[in-house]
Structure 1
């Protein structure tokens, strides 16, 4: 899998829109331990989403820098 395919793969992933994401227990049935676990899971899901966005942004930056490097190398080859 090349860089472009990897980048597209991460863009197409969206963990928060998964159909199995909403697994919360109704509040009438939850005890304190379950409520704390649900809060922890929600916080981790938000963190996961944020990290996923960071990955996509970093992959875009890498692609831009790679493109720029190719242009600079082509220009350098033309000058020499």
Structure 2
């Protein structure tokens, strides 16, 4: 039986660090990242509106965890709240 493939954004986030070990071995994992280094990592450059479309090949599920870091201890600005 073929494993389903999960694409994860924000793979270096606190939540991802807990989810990835639960999925490893059960699913094929792919990651969108600003600095791809591994075979299963794909470029995602939000600022320049670029994404490696190969990241979506054979993907069954997407777990979107990317976003602004909110727990760095600094107060949220009005812009961050948007």
TM-score bucket (shorter structure):
under 0.3
Mark the structure with the bigger radius of gyration: 1
Larger helix share, 1 or 2: 1
**TM-score, normalized by length of structure 1?**
0.26
Larger strand proportion of the pair: 2
Higher relative contact order structure (alpha carbons within 8 Å, sequence separation ≥ 6): 1
